[in-house]
Chains A and B, each alone.
Chain A
Amino acid sequence: MEKDNILEVKGLHKRFTSKNVTVRAVTDVSFSVKEGETIGIVGESGCGKTTLGRCIVRAYGASEGEVFYRTKEGEELDFLKADKKKMKDIRKDIQMIFQDPYSSLDPRMTVLDIIKEPLRANYPNMSKAEMDQRAKDMAAKVGLNPTYLMRYPHAFSGGQRQRIGIARALVINPRIIVCDEAVSALDVSIQAQVINLLKDLQKEFKLTYIFISHDLSVVEHISDKVGVMYLGRLVEYGSTEDIFAHPKHPYTEALMSAVPVADPTYRRERIPLKGEIPNPANPPSGCYFHTRCRYCTEKCSLETPEYREVEPGHFVACSRCGEIELTGFDYSLLNKAD
């Protein structure tokens, strides 16, 4: 494990088996995260983003692979093999914000109880008064009015509920937060409030985010690095600018060209993706993307491309990388409007 990495995922696999069907939800995913960074994970629905996030917090047990985590004391731990006692310690450091603010809060608990719950679970010896105090402080920090904390979740709007979810994740001072589509269910004006909040909190607490989203413009705004997933595999990983402006994988290129840009004068070539994401229970041979790829050759359908570093910090899983010329966003055209 490298020195300044806080998290290293190596060869992570997750398979779901039912009767005689095996779905490979996550296949051989590796990446590393530095402290204080934001990693965006993007891809179409069903590509394994959420499963990856849940494997990282160990809500699902991974089928294979390792997730190394560096504790505050500098100790390296394999997160997936840690015993129960160790696990309890690490859980305090890795928290999750869920997608749907309507179903992730217990309707029968008051907001104060919801925010207090991680404290109750992780610090059984803490006094009630202190728990209340910490929960209230955190609520104030995320912009919830402390006088409303005795209410139940149904009395809050979507944006407020998402703040409750954020307060719950932050109350035990975690170091890593996995945000699974944390802003997707919100309206744009509320989305902006929550994104600003997440960024402020990151600065204040030096948080590391793993930001899972299908909304590419949000990911571009918030992330330092981006990983693109397709059918359970990480096909490209690199700095945000590299991924958006100089994609090296045909799938990333197509994905970027499909993003709607809020500027009617910006015109560009659309690269249509034929068909839909294949069934993960029965993935295509060779490169998973070859059925929809416009640069596909015979070799692609036979060999699984290696996931390799083509430039410092830029990883791609495409055997034709280097041979083909791909286009991303033209930043100079986009900035013209400002």
Chain B
Amino acid sequence: MEKDNIIEVKDLHVDIKMLEGLLTPVRGVNFEIKKGETLGLVGESGCGKSITCKAILGINEKKCVPHGEIMFRTTDDEEIDLLSLNPRGKEIRDIRGKQISMIFQEPMVAFSPMYTIGNQINECTLLHITKDKKKAKEITLEVMRKVGIANVEKRYKQYPHEFSGGMLQRALIAMALVCYPKLLIADEPTTALDVTIQAQILELMKELQKEFNMAILFITHDLGVVANMCDRVAVMYLGRIVETGDAKTIYANPQHPYTRGLMGSVHKIGGRKDERLFSIEGTVPLAMNLPKACGFYDRCDARIEGLCDKAEPELVEIEPGHKIACFNCQNPACLAHREAAMKQIKEDEAKAAAEAEENAKGGKKRGKR
């Protein structure tokens, strides 16, 4: 693990066994986040963004089986593989909510309607910081004040239905920040909010990040928000990262056909209005019984027949820090990768042909007998 990385996700897979077969929503995800950095994880719904971040915290449903490696650097500078911990054990509970915490998508759903807001934030304080109830309340009020909730004494005793969407999201952020985590996972934190409130919340997150030197994993499908918030971007498609690099490079010079499509399908304010938006044909396939091919093959406008439908491209570094997983790119690194894949396919085909011949012979022999 590199020194200034706070988390390294290596070859993460998540499998879900279903009656119809094995669902593979996450298929080999790799990324790392440095201290104080914001990584944006972008993709359409169903591409495995949420499952990836829930795997980090170990809060996926029981039927989701993760494997791979998630290295996390704790506050004591120890390196721990989060996946090796028992998801219901004591060690992960020490990390979850304290060193890594999460902001959920829908604030209305994330809070229990039966308890007061203060009570729910306090739960975290009491669990991780102090057992002294009076002190805990003070800490809770302090953090509520910090995220911009006015009139905290009164708000502390109110129930979620008495809060508006924006205020509730602030309360959720307060809950996530009460232990000053090193890594904050924000799963579409502003999708349910209006643009003006969204701007307030994003501003708040930026400020708090600076103050606590916190790393943020920002999950969203809104490319505008990513451009605003993130240092680096990882684009996900069908359970894999297809392109990653720093935000400016990806926006100015997207290389993967999917990233290009995604960027083209967002209307830029001030852009030409008579122009049709670029649209990616078709929809995201279901991640079940996937063939050994590039996941984007069916929808891609730059596919290479006989290659993209027979091998799955790996992430290749084309510039320092900018990686893509695509065969159709003129960069030397990509071309080398393409050559290797071609060779592999030919070998496999030869092997398969030989085997088929063998089988055919064997079948004849058996038939004679």
Contact = CB atoms under 8 A, between A and B. Distances in A.
Interface of A: 44-45, 157, 159, 187-193, 195-196, 199, 214, 216-218, 220-221, 240, 244, 254-255, 257-266, 270, 272-273, 276, 329, 331, 334-335, 337-338
A188 B195 contact: no
A188 B198 contact: no
A199 B274 CA distance: 10
Nearest to B165: A45
Given A190-B283, A264-B247, A258 B265 contact: no
B247 A255 contact: no
Contacts of B261: 189
A262 B259 CA distance: 13
Interface stretch (B14-22, B217-225, B338-346): B217-225
Contact of B200 (A216, A221, A272): A272
B268 A217 contact: yes
A291 B263 CA distance: 38
B193 to A, nearest CB: 9
A45 B224 CA distance: 20
Interface in B158-179: 164-167
A273 B166 CA distance: 12
A261 B269 contact: yes
Secondary structure at the A interface, as helix, strand, loop or mixed, is helix
Contacts of B199: 257-258, 260, 270, 272-273
29 contacts: A44-B195, A44-B196, A44-B197, A45-B165, A159-B283, A187-B44, A187-B45, A190-B283, A192-B265, A196-B277, A216-B195, A220-B269, A221-B267, A221-B273, A244-B270, A255-B196, A257-B199, A260-B225, A262-B224, A262-B266, A263-B268, A264-B227, A270-B203, A272-B203, A273-B199, A276-B166, A329-B269, A334-B269, A334-B271
Contacts of A266: 227
A333 to B, nearest CB: 8
A260 B278 CA distance: 20
Contacts of A335: 270-271
Contact of A217 (B44, B224, B276, B278): B224
A262 B265 contact: no
Q: Residue among B44, B228, B278, B281 with the most chain A CB within 10 A?
A: B228
B280 interface: yes
B260 to A, nearest CB: 11
B337 to A, nearest CB: 26
B331 interface: no
B9 interface: no
A244 B267 CA distance: 14
B79 interface: no
A217 B269 contact: yes
A329 B267 CA distance: 14
